[in-house]
Amino acid sequence: MSGRVGLLDYGSGNLHSAARAFAGAGADLVVTADLAELRRCDALVVPGVGAFAACMAGLTAAGGVELIAEWVEAGRPLFGICVGHQVLFEGGTEHGVDTAGLGLYPGRVVQLDARRLPHMGWNTVDVGEGSRLFAGLERERFYFVHSYAALHGPDDAVVTTATHEGATFVAAVERGPVSSTQFHPEKSGAAGAALIANWLGSW
């Protein structure tokens, strides 16, 4: 890794814990809503907690939709976390309301077909073949907090899955310069720190 990482502050996400985790993994990190400052960074982290629609509204208001589109078009490294991962899909359906996403990945985010929701706590993952994010982490557990997820990832990506009460969903996607996780690496202890370090070392 060489260069600076921008953590996009658009009003959603565990910014403090994410900032600590990325800085602790060796990132030269800036946390800001200033788009000009973010454009001067070499990589971008998009956090997100709560509802899909609220995160998309926050991204839109902050200019994040345009920023992310520019970023990916330029082939620059991007990492999405939790709802910051979900909004990379074409859309999401929550409580009967459909919201358009960024459309970087095909498919939609829907409620998990599980008796107990949210899916909250530590879970293992089924690592996709050729994963760089999960190198050396194939047997580790990661921390999830969500009720909604994408059920299928892009065909042209390395897709890592997880299963909650028989419902299998996308836990992570690695597609060119774009990576994202449904779980929270910043809450996943040593395994999460190692995953962040893997990402930092991949560009």
Point out the catalytic residue in the list 41, 82, 146, 174: 82
Q: Which long-range contacts (CB under 8 A, 24 or more apart) does 64-69 make?
A: 64/8, 64/10, 65/102, 67/8, 67/35, 67/38, 67/39, 68/44, 68/102, 68/104, 69/102
Given 146, 164, 174, 186, the catalytic residue = 186
Q: Is 21 helix (H, G, I), strand (E, B) or coil?
A: helix
Q: Is 55 among the catalytic positions?
A: no
Pairwise CA distance, residues 185 & 173, whole Å: 14
> Residue 66 catalytic?
no
Q: Is 82 a catalytic residue?
A: yes
**Active-site residue among 85, 146, 164, 184?**
184
Tokens 């299963």 belong to 163
Catalytic residues: 82, 184, 186
